[in-house]
Chains A and B, each alone.
Chain A
Amino acid sequence: MRDLTLTINGAPVSVAVDERTLLVQLLRDELRLTGTHVGCDTSQCGACNVLLDGEAVKACAVLAVQAEGAGVVTIEGLAQGEALHPMQAAFREHHGLQCGFCTPGMIVAGIDMVRRLGTELDAQTVRAELEGNLCRCTGYHNIVKAIQAGASAMAGPAPAAVAAE
């Protein structure tokens, strides 16, 4: 076991973890943040994407102990009270989900795209950038639209966008 201190969704967390614990296991099993999903055992589906120091990573391919001292943001940490993050709001507005299983990872991937590529994203770019996020329901069409719209909305002065940083 090892003592681990990190920040999760803005709050300091100290826990003792087995070295083998994956970041996604810490989030889901220990901290009950079950919005981060596990969709595969091959690190290919992206359902487990979270922001680690602001960057999208697959929480199933990171050891919890590797996040020592880091800041983790999960889907639960994006909204500000009742106000959804603009990327979340865009998924609702554009019907970017059906069952919703892939959605947390998609939203995190969308936020990471904005961080790296800015708020003006064309459809082709979004499709290429989603190569690590699988959706079994939607056919991606509305996910692409939602990410484009969410990215544009993140350009605006919405306070929720600032909270996601």
Chain B
Amino acid sequence: MFAFAYHRPATLIEAQAALAASEEAKPLAGGQTLIPTLKQRLASPSDLVDLGGIPALRGITVVQDLLVIGAMVRHVEVATSPIVATHLPALAALAGLIGDPAVRNRGTLGGSVANNDPSADYPAACLALDAVIVTDRRELPAGDFFTGLFETALQPGEIVTAVRFPLGGEATYEKFPNPASRYAMAGVFVRRGEGGIRVAVTGASQGGVFRWGAAEAALAAGFSPAALDGLRPEAEEMIADIHGSGAYRAQLVAVMARRAVARLAAAR
């Protein structure tokens, strides 16, 4: 690890000041991605600003037809929250599939969306549910927030404070985890509601999380697994690595999508 200064502010304002003090300063949330990255010397922030002491970044609430989850809410809290279980059970189930119990005891929603790992789970939920990412400066729809592989619209020093998920409709998530890392090899989040059908795919694409337009159109014409017959994303656009070829991932996406649709159709 390269040397850094460590700060643990108690308020958002102090955190903003600490981040503004250096261009190379970075927020630290659950550390489940950042600390392994620092260990490998793949990042060299001058300052780490630990967001763990800021109460305003915690909490799970329902405000009218929105579920609002603070950036520092840990995966275990989303997975076990009675509020999430009641209002958005698919999100609770997704959180319970992230990594393993010790990772879920530390990792946070804000850290996951800020990191935008192409194999992370939350970005699929945010995109399919048309969630709004709230920062200390602005509010961004998920479609504008996630801009590519490990890329987001966040500016230097900008802090994700919460994510707002619109409620209503039905949703489910199907994930094929890598057996070693537990990250998604393909994860498909399907939402059916007033705004229509949205299908978001993570884990598979070279460009990171994406909406699968062809599947959305097919499902709009008829909501059943059979509607997806023959559909799969372009293998050339999928990630190809030691864990699987592009064609394999494209096939996984198709299977996960069909399973998700079957589950939703059966639940009605």
Contact = CB atoms under 8 A, between A and B. Distances in A.
B61 interface: no
Nearest to B52: A66
Given A20-B4, A63-B35, A109 B50 contact: no
B247 to A, nearest CB: 27
B14 to A, nearest CB: 16
B3 A20 contact: yes
Given A42-B36, A56-B101, A61 B6 contact: no
A62 B31 contact: yes
Contacts of B28: 63, 66
Contact of B101 (A20, A65, A113): A113
A42 to B, nearest CB: 7
Interface string A75-111: 0000000000000000000000000000000000100
Given A19-B4, A43-B32, A44-B180, A58 B103 contact: yes
Contacts of A18: 3
Contacts of A60: 35, 39
Nearest to A49: B102
B102 A46 contact: yes
A57 B35 CA distance: 13
Interface string A46-64: 1001000001111011110
Contacts of A120: none
Given A43-B36, A62-B35, A131-B182, A57 B6 contact: no
A41 B105 CA distance: 19
B1 interface: yes
Contact of B31 (A2, A61, A133): A61
A60 B32 CA distance: 10
B86 interface: no
Given A2-B6, A41-B40, A109 B35 contact: no
Contacts of B6: 2, 19, 63, 65
A19 B28 CA distance: 13
Interface string B53-92: 0000000000000000000000010001000000000000
Q: How large is the interface on A (under 10, 10 to 19, 20 to 34, 35 or more residues)?
A: 20 to 34
Nearest to A53: B105
Q: What is the interface of chain A mostly: helix, strand, loop, or mixed?
A: mixed
A68 interface: yes
A20 B180 CA distance: 27
B224 to A, nearest CB: 30
Contacts of A44: 180-181
Nearest to A19: B6
B231 to A, nearest CB: 31
A46 B100 contact: yes
8 contacts: A20-B3, A43-B32, A43-B103, A46-B102, A58-B102, A58-B103, A116-B80, A131-B100
Interface of A: 2, 18-20, 22, 41-44, 46, 49, 55-58, 60-63, 65-66, 68, 109, 112-113, 116, 129, 131-133
Interface of B: 1-6, 8, 28, 31-32, 35-36, 38-40, 48, 50, 52, 76, 80, 99-103, 105-106, 180-182
Given A20-B3, A41-B40, A66-B31, 13 more contacts: A19-B5, A20-B38, A44-B181, A46-B102, A58-B103, A58-B106, A61-B36, A65-B6, A66-B52, A109-B101, A116-B101, A132-B103, A132-B182
